Amino acid sequence: MSGSFKNQAVKIAGITIHPGEHRIIELPIAKLYTHTDLSIPVQVICGKKAGPSLFISAAIHGDELNGVEIIRRLLKNTGVKKLKGTLIVVPIVNVFGIIQHSRYLPDRRDLNRSFPGSSKGSLAGRLAFMFLDEIVKKCQYGIDLHTGAIHRSNLPQIRADLEDPEVRALAEAFSVPVILNSNLRDGSLREAAGSIGVKVLLYEAGEALRFDELSIRAGVRGIISVMRKLEMLPALKKGRHPIEPFMARSSHWERAPESGVLRPIVALGARVAKNEVLALITDPSDMFDQTEYEVRAQFAGLVIGRSNIPLVNEGDALFHIARFEDIGEAAATVEAFQNTAENTPNPVFEDQPSV
Ligand SMILES: [Zn+2]
């Protein structure tokens, strides 16, 4: 992809965006039952010079908000506007869900289980179909931004189909410490995009209905790194030391052995040994004797996801533990990543003020 060629125009919702143009487009979708018009805001930066086409989507789950802020900060960087190729960003895909602070659509379906959808299907299916048709099919690459579910936090991590070498290289370029291999057939945007040859990374970080600063910074930096890798943005002059990511061999959830009040002991990002006590559950009907149940790690690993609510039912998923070949190195990288993210005010473009 030589930068000397002129970029091509892109057409979304019947509107043509020519090379050198930035446009905001309202993608019309079904009305609310009050007959209020509803549309998905889409921003398109069509670079003057040829290069890859990339979409970035957030809030496919309407209560997952970190990605909305990641996209705002990304677009604030003037460097991004000088890109090669075409960037299509959709900060809020599930416009229904965000109004209700809900993961779901009004038909109670999960949009990220409704792909590829159909123009004659349920509301979720129609929205999925239109998103695939109007946005995803116009691109070669995509990054889909997510957070943990309500009351759950995720350590910044990339989920991708690592059997595809190009996807793997982009996942590594994102520079978060943990990568999970995942090629599920689950009706997700990532799966549907993959089946039509569009390569998608999924970024998971933080908690639903909250902004998490570390997750947001790592997300902005990761997207910029991927855009550099794709040569949409120039390479850094002096090489920063990228975070060397670790591929998890597998992961599993430790669940509550009993119902009760939970006191977690280990933090997100912590390294845990096999059989280590992760949390204690107290029986609230037995405050005199203080009967306690231990939640223990079945395997050594890193805590990459955690429940934040102290009230648990038996069987609730509490700690998401990832296993690695070299757990010591992976743990050291997570620590270095957390320190760097906390101590770097704006790690993206050195010549720009903090956002
Ligand atoms: Zn999600």
Integer Rg of the chain from CA: 21
- Judged against a pLDDT cut of 80, whether residue 93 lies above it is answered with yes
Cα–ligand 1 centroid distance for 41 (angstroms): 19
Asked whether residue 333 is assigned to any structural domain, the reply reads no
**Do both 215 and 255 map to the same domain?**
no
Chain segment 158-207, per-residue pLDDT in tens: 999 999 999 999 999 999 999 999 877 789 999 999 999 999 999 999 99
**Do both 77 and 173 map to the same domain?**
yes
Domain ends where: 231, 246, 261?
Answer: 246
Cα–ligand 1 centroid distance for 263 (angstroms): 26
Cα–ligand 1 centroid distance for 236 (angstroms): 31
Cross-strand partners of 296 = 277
- Judged against a pLDDT cut of 60, whether residue 287 lies above it is answered with yes
Asked whether residue 355 is assigned to any structural domain, the reply reads no
**Do both 12 and 143 map to the same domain?**
yes
Cα–ligand 1 centroid distance for 221 (angstroms): 20
Mean pLDDT score of the chain: 92
Cα–ligand 1 centroid distance for 324 (angstroms): 24
Mean pLDDT calculated for residue range 277-302? 91
Is the CB of residue 132 less than 8 Å from the CB of residue 117? yes
Label residue 3 by pLDDT band (50, 70, 90): very low
Number of structural domains found in the chain: 2
Percentage of the chain surpassing pLDDT 90?
Answer: 77
Q: What CA–CA distance (Å, rounded) separates 294 from 276? A: 9
Give residue 336's pLDDT.
87
Cα–ligand 1 centroid distance for 334 (angstroms): 22
Cα–ligand 1 centroid distance for 106 (angstroms): 17
Q: What is the CATH number of the domain that holds 63?
A: 3.40.630.10
Label residue 210 by pLDDT band (50, 70, 90): very high
Asked whether residue 9 is assigned to any structural domain, the reply reads yes
**Do both 171 and 280 map to the same domain?**
no
Chain segment 19-29, per-residue pLDDT in tens: 999 999 999 98
Q: What is the CATH number of the domain that holds 277?
A: 2.40.50.100
**Do both 256 and 242 map to the same domain?**
no
Cα–ligand 1 centroid distance for 191 (angstroms): 14
Cα–ligand 1 centroid distance for 291 (angstroms): 36
**Do both 178 and 317 map to the same domain?**
no
**Do both 16 and 98 map to the same domain?**
yes
DSSP 43-81: EEEE-SB---EEEEEE-SSTT--HHHHHHHHHHH-GGGG
Give residue 126's pLDDT.
94
Domain ends where: 225, 246, 267?
Answer: 246
Label residue 130 by pLDDT band (50, 70, 90): very high
Give residue 2's pLDDT.
47
Of 354 and 202, the structure prediction assigns the larger pLDDT to 202
Asked whether residue 344 is assigned to any structural domain, the reply reads no
Asked whether residue 348 is assigned to any structural domain, the reply reads no
Asked whether residue 329 is assigned to any structural domain, the reply reads no
Cα–ligand 1 centroid distance for 22 (angstroms): 28
Cα–ligand 1 centroid distance for 145 (angstroms): 7
Cα–ligand 1 centroid distance for 285 (angstroms): 35
Tell me the two tokens of residue 131: 């998103």
Mean pLDDT calculated for residue range 345-353? 48
**Do both 9 and 70 map to the same domain?**
yes
Give residue 327's pLDDT.
86
- Edge-to-edge order in the sheet of strand 292-296: 292-296, 277-282, 260-264, 311-312
Is the CB of residue 261 less than 8 Å from the CB of residue 208? no
The HSE-up count of residue 145 (CA atoms within 13 Å, CB side) is: 36
Cα–ligand 1 centroid distance for 153 (angstroms): 12
Domain coverage including residue 21? 2-246
Q: What CA–CA distance (Å, rounded) separates 33 from 35? A: 5
CA separation, residue 257 to residues 47, 87, 281, 312, 317 (Å): 55, 47, 9, 10, 10
**Do both 169 and 267 map to the same domain?**
no
Label residue 284 by pLDDT band (50, 70, 90): confident
Give residue 88's pLDDT.
98
**Do both 239 and 255 map to the same domain?**
no
**Do both 12 and 112 map to the same domain?**
yes
Mean pLDDT calculated for residue range 318-336? 90
Asked whether residue 142 is assigned to any structural domain, the reply reads yes
Cα–ligand 1 centroid distance for 36 (angstroms): 26
Cα–ligand 1 centroid distance for 116 (angstroms): 17
- Judged against a pLDDT cut of 60, whether residue 355 lies above it is answered with no
What's the CA dihedral at 68, 71, 72, 75 to 10 degrees? -160
Tell me the two tokens of residue 187: 């009706």
**Do both 190 and 277 map to the same domain?**
no
Cα–ligand 1 centroid distance for 104 (angstroms): 10
Cα–ligand 1 centroid distance for 98 (angstroms): 12
Label residue 279 by pLDDT band (50, 70, 90): very high
DSSP state of 130: H
Cα–ligand 1 centroid distance for 240 (angstroms): 30
Tell me the two tokens of residue 322: 């990832």
Percentage of the chain surpassing pLDDT 70?
Answer: 94
- Judged against a pLDDT cut of 60, whether residue 115 lies above it is answered with yes
Give residue 239's pLDDT.
64
Mean pLDDT calculated for residue range 122-151? 96
Asked whether residue 240 is assigned to any structural domain, the reply reads yes
